[in-house]
Amino acid sequence: MGIVAGLDSSPDFTRIVVCDADTGAVLRQGYAPHPVETAGGGGRSADVDPQAWLLSLGEAAGGGLLEGVQAIGVSAQQSALIPIDDQGATVRPALVGGDRRAQVAAADLIDALGGREAWAQAVGCVPQAPLPVTKLRWFAKNEPEAARRTALLLQAHDWLVWQLLGRPLRRTTDRGGASGTGYWSAATGAYRPDLVELALGRQAALPDVIGPAEAAGTTPEGLLISAGTGETMAAAFGLGLSLGDAVVSLGASGSVMAVHPEALVDQTGMITSLADATGMHLPVVTTLNAVRALRGTAELLGVPDLEGLSALATKSTPGSHGLVLLPYLEGERTPSLPHTAGMLAGLRRESMKPEHVARAAFEGMLCGLADALDVLRGRGVEVRRVFLLGPAAELPAVQAVAPAVFGAQVVVPQPADYAAIGAARQAAWALGASKGTLDPRTPPAWQGAVAQILEPGEDLAVGQAVRQQYVSVREQVHPGAFLG
């Protein structure tokens, strides 16, 4: 079927992969950092001119990288809000990232609709600072004149697709991207214009949500552009996730998501109900503490890096001689304990050794993520395989503990540009569907990620004992934390 390209516009760079449309084999790659000069102070709260994304895209595509490509898919950072005026110009720089400025706006929105449960029922998520609907509220309150000139609301991948197509009258998005806005419901497949009005104070146009295999359009040169999607959905598609698969991402904080056939409405707000890039759903549970618990322990023990902490932990044994670390160092979201602190329990003279503290950090982090997995399992989500992502997934101590604690096969994919690969796979699907060579209901079967497979095996019983030790301490200190 030829060759296709996927471009991923992350917060810091653009990466492009060119793939064989039939097999997914990566043929060529390009990369360029964004020439980002923020207007809003950088860090987690930043205002970025979207033109920076186009400049790095052009640089990444240099040297004839896209020669012969028949279709392009676009993945981009999520949570960006780009207000557009009635002439098609940006009203202000894009609001991106976590944006702490919007924290008060999140609380305002929750109260205005009648609480967390009302939001969960409405759109499957509860406002937090990163959500576009929350940024929209902040924008309307703090820059009212600019807000009044806003005619259209786009996200990063919507805007890039629109630019690639030459800014046509029709603006489009996909289910995945729309589900992360806070004003589109994955359960109903429809926008909630009333929530846009609640945030902005009036209505604004929104892009059409098109199907997973639909094309957003064709460039004047005849290049097909697929729907595009958010980075999370693109990475899941690039990894080849299907029913029974979950992903645990190990960043400073952690996230757990899984493929599920239906949207989950969670009245506690622990589950964010996203749509994926295939027509299925991606319920997500996040924890505030993951690798930050390891880094804090390394500093406490005077170990220079996580590799050293891992080597130290492997000198201990399962259960860490009775030590249990509740890794709630920044408070916690899962369970909802925003004002709590972490705890090291089970201290005895024989357990007060660096290797036991080190192992307790790994076990505590992974047990906390197992709690998040159980939130999904408790709602009927099937988990047969757990894909473990992030640099910390390569640590021997993580790999030794994770399969038995998670109670599932663990897959550690080789590092690759999975979001860009997922965008390319979407392009191949749209191309095949447009030619009648692919079923619009069934994505192309590409090669799976090259990965290391870890089985719980005979360690399963030991891992479950470690987990029970952790749960006993958590319940003693925070009884009923997962009940409401």
pLDDT per residue rounded down to tens, the chain (484 residues): 699 999 999 999 999 999 999 999 999 999 999 996 644 444 445 799 999 999 999 999 999 999 999 999 999 999 999 999 999 999 999 999 888 899 999 999 999 999 999 999 999 999 999 999 999 999 999 999 999 999 999 999 999 999 999 999 999 999 999 999 999 999 999 999 999 999 999 999 999 999 999 999 999 889 999 999 999 999 999 999 999 999 999 999 999 999 999 999 887 888 999 999 999 999 999 999 999 999 999 999 999 999 999 999 999 999 999 999 999 999 999 998 999 999 999 999 999 999 999 999 999 999 999 999 999 999 999 999 999 999 999 999 999 999 999 999 999 999 999 999 999 999 999 999 999 999 999 999 998 889 999 999 999 999 999 999 999 999 999 999 998 5
Phi, psi of 314 (to 5 degrees): -70, -10
The set of residues, in sequence order, having a beta carbon less than 8 Å from that of 415 and lying 6+ positions away, is none
Please say whether the beta carbons of 84 and 151 come within 8 A: yes
pLDDT at 43: 41
Taking the C-alpha atoms of residue 132 and residue 139, their distance in angstroms, rounded to an integer, is 10
CA distances from 53 to 6, 58, 63, 156, 452 (A): 15, 9, 18, 9, 34
pTM over 0.85? The answer is: yes
Ramachandran angles phi, psi of 437, nearest 5°: -95, -10
Q: Give bridge partners of residue 453 from the DSSP assignment.
A: 411
**What is d(CA 243, CA 347) in angstroms, rounded to the nearest whole number?**
42
Contact assessment for residue 275 and residue 236, using Cβ atoms and an 8 Å cutoff: no
Continuous H helices in 129-269: 132-142, 144-148, 156-164, 175-178, 193-200, 231-239
- Tell me how far apart the alpha carbons of residues 146 and 93 are, in angstroms, rounded to a whole number: 11
CA–CA dist 306, 316 (Å, integer):
16
Other beta carbons within 10 angstroms of residue 298's beta carbon come to: 20
What is the sign, positive or negative, of the torsion defined by CA atoms of 359, 360, 361, 366? Answer: positive
